[in-house]
Amino acid sequence: MSLPVFPALPGQTFARKAPVRATNIALHDSGREARTSIYGGLYEFEVAFDGLAADDVSFPGLAAQSLQAIMGLYLQCLGGFGAFLYTDPNDNAVANQPIATGDGATTLFALTRSIGAGSDSDFYVTSVAGVSVNGASASDWTLLAPNLLSFSTAPASGAAISASFTFAFVCRFLEDATDFENFAQNLWAVKSVKFRSVRQ
């Protein structure tokens, strides 16, 4: 699967990132509750662009035709219909992340990352810098999109598996329309671009 990539542009300001979870809560006459977690591990993002250049030369501090880059992605995705990869500039890599413990039979492991006391695996791995089994570098693995590590030989029972990798979030735009503001010759801005990660 080849997804378009949300452009990294110098005029971007980071506005908001919110974890999204869904829970069913049933209230009983006794006052007790029955709670069921439906899903988690998703995020909503909101970014703004204080400056987008509409040409190649007027604003050398901004990426050439940065307006066309972000507007073009919006058009390519058909608003909220299509998906794209977004690399959060503050949350895109882990080093020596514990993944799993081998059992001598399993060869397929989901790459995960720790977030405080929680963990997350709903992301798209963009590169793997290295994999270790019991502290030793491993080479008998392949990466299966979006985030699976496949070993040709199952790691031994009790073997600690860890990896260093970079990742992005598979996202879709939340709205089918976005306002781009032309406030100077060849200079544009967009106050709010909202999108959320999606399950793959």
Tens-digit pLDDT profile for residues 104-123: 999 999 999 998 888 888 89
For residues 49-75, give the mean pLDDT: 93
Distance in angstroms between the alpha carbons of the first and the last residue of the chain:
11
Residues in Cβ contact with 11 at an 8 Å cutoff, skipping those fewer than 6 apart: 49, 50, 51, 52, 53, 62, 63, 66, 189
- The Cα-based distances of 130 to 95, 106, 107, 137 in angstroms read 9, 19, 17, 7
Residue whose token pair is 């070993």: 151
pLDDT computed for residue 155 by the predictor? 96
Tens-digit pLDDT profile for residues 154-194: 999 999 999 999 999 999 999 998 899 999 999 999 999 99
Nearest to 147 by CA among 89, 85, 81: 85
pLDDT computed for residue 40 by the predictor? 67
Q: What is the mean pLDDT of the chain?
A: 92
Q: Where are the domains of the chain?
A: 12-82+171-197, 93-170
